[in-house]
Structure 1
Amino acid sequence: MKNAPTTKKAIPTTVWVIGLVMCLINASTVVIYSLSALYLNTSLGVDIRLIGLLEGSAEALSFIMKLFSGVISDYFRRRRPIMLIGYFMAIVSKPIMATSTNFFNVFTARFLERIGNGIQASPRDALVGDVAPATQRAASFGLMRSLGTAGSFMGSILGFLAMWYTADNFKQVFWIASIPAFIAFILLALYVKEPKTHIDNDGKIVRLKKSRRPIRMADFMSLGRNYWTLMVIVLIFMSARFGESLMVLYSYDNFGLEKTYAPLIMTLYNLTYSFSSYPCGVLADKYGRKTVMVFGTVALVVSDLCMYSASGLPIFFVGVLIWGIQLGIVHNMFVSLVTDYVHEDVRGTAIGTYYLIAAVGSFIAGAGGGFVSHQFGIQAIFFSSLIVGLVALGVMIALVPKGKPIKGAKSGALKVGTGTETKTSVQ
């Protein structure tokens, strides 16, 4: 596939294909994820504290694997083979979930799926960064995630229809969910090719080196001050992001939402997630990352407020919709800023490190959410998320450089090995 030149043209075809693969794999994953907590609690009798620990641990492991795969992809200077390994593991997890009869089986399936997801994520994001021009970087990440989230939206609908069709038979629904995952793997294997060139942060097309790049601890130290400041914000922000499956359980316990309609929670926030990702990416390329990122964090706080104060499903659903908006904004801004700040030779390492930092925050959010809900009720997790979100907002406003929109030249990339940054503004 051809990569986009540095002039303002269409988003590269590779980004579209990767987005379609994400669309299908997410459709499969969301069906299972939206029902996993309910299945464990109502069918297998698993305590909510153990569910929260499982979700937090699975997400943390996924993020750890993202660091590993990012570093390895920089070492081999290849992204696609590692993506194939990750997607294969994610696919294998689906039949295991469909045949599960106890907590251990579900634990194995969830961890295998999260490991696979972690392995493919950093090389995937680095590949998008490799082929996307600096002037379209946030838009490219936004498009990829919009397509991926459209799959999550379709997965929510598929989960609802499958639960209705099978009369709430969880195992049959999990088998149905395996089909899109297999199609996604075939598309990735046949149509996503390793690029021969990539685009650096100066907007130039650089031929991909064939030699392996040594793994050096110095690479982590040379990522720069702006990058590590951003990682502090990532840690705080992700600590506010409890597992979305707890929304499903809360609506079931507190508002009497029937099991058949439980996947509709995922449908609502994936709808706004999908529709907000690409437009906000375009706005970030035009007006700067910080402005859009601050708006996304405000959306998190407002969402938590709506869900915490809701006395019925309508206001709770409003909170869920706004939750989707912050999902569509902030992650794309984080990854875009990471790509802006670092040299193209260490994109995989930088993105993987970002995911590792996010892993710590996710574990805190998952395990903490389970503990808080056990001690004070599920409703309390929305209030605790609101407080942590406000802290993240304050730190973000104070520490992230405002910068200027990229005009098509320098984007503030680091000079690898020097630990210094150019004077050009970044978003």
Structure 2
Amino acid sequence: MTIPPSSLSSRTPVPKAIWAIGLASFLINVSSVIVFGLSAVYMKTILGVATGWIGLLEGIVEASAYAVKVFSGVFSDYLKRRKIIMVWGFGLATLARPILALSSSFGAVFTSRVLDRIGNGVQSTPRDALVGDLSPESIKGTCYGLRQSLATAGSFFGGIVGVAAMLLTNQNFHQVFWIATIPAVMGLLILIFAVKDSPTQQSGEAIKRHPIRIADLHRLGGTYWMLMIVAGVFMLARVGEAMLILHAHQNFGLSESYIPLILILYNGTNSLASYPIGRLSDKVSRYALLGIGFAVLIVADILLATATNLSIMLMGVAVWGVQIGITQSMFMALIADTVPNDLRGTGFGFFYLTSAIALVLAGTMGGTIAQLYGEAMTFTASGIIGAVSLATLLILIPFRKKATS
């Protein structure tokens, strides 16, 4: 993508701290995608867990992650410290790796996955708020897109590592889970030694009041809450990336050794979309790009629901990754645009809480439909909900100026 020389964003460099946060995200995602990519198949083929239970587990762990995000965001605003909360989150996610490597029951896997996702939830909201704190106004979309792109590049690389590790260990899940511990530790160390809080957070004095106030929720503004309605409807269509893996494995015969290829493809297109879309959003309407992301979700669901061979199914996976890259970057940038600076963590936190409620419903729905009618029907339902979310965006967004005034 070519940026005109007159563009201000082309002359404003991305701060080094954003790159450091992105590198830490890259490494933790290398680890996470190995765990995520194999845990569903591990539960299904080794532990014999029913698909419905896997869908419920994914919904619960994602909801756990999103639910704690609201509290970590609120407290990062209250304490005026973001890095320490991020360190705790990275630490929990790192601790989850050896627990999974030692697991031999559904309960142990459940514990590991919950710890992993809670750790992710604890660190992600102050991370997103810190990116907003450190980003120059003229390249805010670029900074969010870059961070998202580096994170998903880590997921892409993690998929490659997962395939190689499964082949080298002769499909020994436990050894592969031990390998996944290494990049998690590296990411934690980079966060500790290379990332600092923003100057505004470091210089601020602690506010002697209750961390959550009704007045603060009102200050977030009508436009913000309209955006939360749109996000809540859209997240109901996110039936869980575990369904992509099970669809390929159950219906198209993709072997366990090559399951991480699904995440390589999905995260590769996600990463490729995030950064250019972020840069583009500094020049055109972020709401328009968000609507395009919703439309791309519908296209992905059509491909996944109607696939008759692995090639078409993989096309659907690739398009699914593109819609994540578009929508996640746009939601982040729009929230940073909308909320007051001192409530940025709170704003991101309630976005994640909204998403948590929707995702546990989506995961439960997706797993149940897949168990009763097959994975293809799950993506049909997702496409219908995606169309509803696009209609909701088109209906509500024209009123955002009135809500702001």
TM superposition score category, shorter chain reference: over 0.9
The CA RMSD measured in Å over matched residues stands at 1.8
The question of 1:19 aligning with 2:22 is answered yes
TM-aligned CA distance change 1:285 to 1:6, over 3 Å:
closer
Displacement of 1:320 in angstroms is 0.5
Give the aligned partner of residue 404 of structure 2. 421
Listed one character per residue, the Cα deviations across residues 250-280 of structure 1 (whole Å, up to 9, x for unaligned) are 1111111111111100000111100110100
Displacement of 1:137 in angstroms is 1.0
Give the aligned partner of residue 239 of structure 1. 236
The question of 1:333 aligning with 2:316 is answered no
**SS of 1:286's equivalent?**
coil
The question of 1:118 aligning with 2:142 is answered no
Q: Distance in 1 between matches of 2:10 and 2:404?
A: 25
Is the 2:12–2:139 contact (alpha carbons within 8 Å) kept by the matching residues of 1? no
Query: Kindly, what percent of the aligned residue pairs are identical?
Result: 43
Is the 1:6–1:133 contact (alpha carbons within 8 Å) kept by the matching residues of 2? no
Displacement of 1:421 in angstroms is 3.4
Is the 2:9–2:139 contact (alpha carbons within 8 Å) kept by the matching residues of 1? no
Q: Which amino acid aligns with 1:382?
A: F
**SS of 2:375's equivalent?**
coil
Q: Distance in 2 between matches of 1:90 and 1:401?
A: 40
Q: What number of residue pairs does the alignment pair up?
A: 396
Listed one character per residue, the Cα deviations across residues 231-265 of structure 1 (whole Å, up to 9, x for unaligned) are 01101100000111121111111111111111100
Displacement of 1:134 in angstroms is 2.0
State which of 273, 278, 281 in structure 2 corresponds to 1:276. Answer: 273
**SS of 1:45's equivalent?**
coil
Listed one character per residue, the Cα deviations across residues 295-350 of structure 1 (whole Å, up to 9, x for unaligned) are 11111000000011110011111111000100101011111111111100100001
Displacement of 1:401 in angstroms is 4.1
Listed one character per residue, the Cα deviations across residues 205-239 of structure 1 (whole Å, up to 9, x for unaligned) are xx842233632222112211111110011011000
Q: Distance in 2 between matches of 1:61 and 1:8?
A: 40
Q: Distance in 2 between matches of 1:329 and 1:208?
A: 34
State which of 89, 105, 117 in structure 2 corresponds to 1:102. Answer: 105
Give the aligned partner of residue 58 of structure 1. 61
Give the aligned partner of residue 209 of structure 1. 204
Give the aligned partner of residue 131 of structure 1. 134
Q: Distance in 1 between matches of 2:156 and 2:247?
A: 20
- Normalising by structure 1, we get a TM-score of 0.90
Give the aligned partner of residue 188 of structure 1. 191
Q: Distance in 2 between matches of 1:233 and 1:38?
A: 33
Higher helix share: 2
Q: Which amino acid aligns with 2:65?
A: S
Pairing 1:347-362 to 2, within 5 Å after superposition? 347-362=344-359
Give the aligned partner of residue 146 of structure 2. 143
**SS of 2:282's equivalent?**
helix
- Normalising by structure 2, we get a TM-score of 0.95
Is the 2:141–2:278 contact (alpha carbons within 8 Å) kept by the matching residues of 1? yes
The question of 1:179 aligning with 2:182 is answered yes
Q: Distance in 2 between matches of 1:269 and 1:6?
A: 29
Q: Distance in 2 between matches of 1:43 and 1:185?
A: 30
State which of 359, 370, 375 in structure 2 corresponds to 1:373. Answer: 370
Displacement of 1:402 in angstroms is 9.4
- Structure 1, unmatched stretches of 5+, are 199-206, 404-411, 413-418, 423-427
**SS of 2:104's equivalent?**
coil
The question of 1:289 aligning with 2:272 is answered no
Listed one character per residue, the Cα deviations across residues 164-200 of structure 1 (whole Å, up to 9, x for unaligned) are 11111110110011100000000000000112137xx
Q: Distance in 2 between matches of 1:30 and 1:259?
A: 15
TM-aligned CA distance change 1:7 to 1:327, over 3 Å:
closer
State which of 130, 155, 158 in structure 1 corresponds to 2:158. Answer: 155
Q: Distance in 2 between matches of 1:190 and 1:378?
A: 44
Q: Which amino acid aligns with 1:13?
A: K
Q: Which amino acid aligns with 1:167?
A: N
